[in-house]
């Protein structure tokens, strides 16, 4: 059992946010950060049995930005 799970968070091209768990097949999305956090918790609970679920969920926010020279 791992003690934590890490989610990679990006802004969705359609609006809102997309989350992908690193090392697990867990994907979810939300229109707001609060909705995304709720959906991440639900997804983790659905993916793991109660005694196998990680105790900590870490969110790694990534924002891609381009600048010109």
Asked if residue 1 has pLDDT above 70, the reply is: no
Question: Rounded to whole angstroms, how far apart are CA atoms 68 and 28?
Answer: 32
pLDDT value of position 46: 95
pLDDT digits (tens, 9 = 90+) for 4-24: 999 999 999 999 999 999 999
The pTM score is 0.87
Residue with tokens 């639900």: 42
Residue 30 Rama label (left phi>0; alpha psi -120 to 50; beta): beta
- Residue 12: CB atoms within 10 A of its CB come to 13
20-67 pLDDT tens trace? 999 999 999 999 999 999 999 999 999 999 888 999 999 999 988 889
List the Cα angle 28/35/48 in 5-degree steps.
45
pLDDT of residue 29: 98
């Amino acid at each position: 059992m791992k003690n934590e799970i890490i989610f990679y968070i990006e802004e969705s091209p359609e609006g809102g946010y997309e989350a992908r768990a690193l090392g697990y097949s867990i994907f979810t999305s939300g229109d707001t950060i609060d909705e995304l956090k709720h959906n991440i918790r639900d997804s983790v609970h659905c993916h793991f049995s109660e005694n196998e679920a990680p105790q900590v969920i870490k969110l790694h926010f990534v924002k891609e930005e381009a600048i010109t020279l």
